[in-house]
Structure 1
Amino acid sequence: MNIEGRALIVNRNSRVAAVDIGWGMALVVEYSADTLIDEGDRLEQLTTGYRKINILNRNKAQEVSVQVLADAMPFTLAEYIVREDQSLSQAAA
Structure 2
Amino acid sequence: MTELEVTDPQERFLELFKTEKYRQRISQLAVSGKTSLIVDFEDILTFDHTLAERLIEKPEEYLRHADNAAQNQLAIEAPEYAEKQKVTVRIVGLLEPTPLRK
TM over 0.5: no
Q: Which has the higher strand share?
A: 1
Question: Normalising to structure 1: TM-score of the pair?
Answer: 0.30
Larger Cα Rg: Structure 1 or Structure 2?
A: 2
Question: 1 or 2 for the larger relative contact order (CA 8 Å, sep ≥6)?
Answer: 2
Question: Normalising to structure 2: TM-score of the pair?
Answer: 0.28
Q: Which has the higher helix share?
A: 2
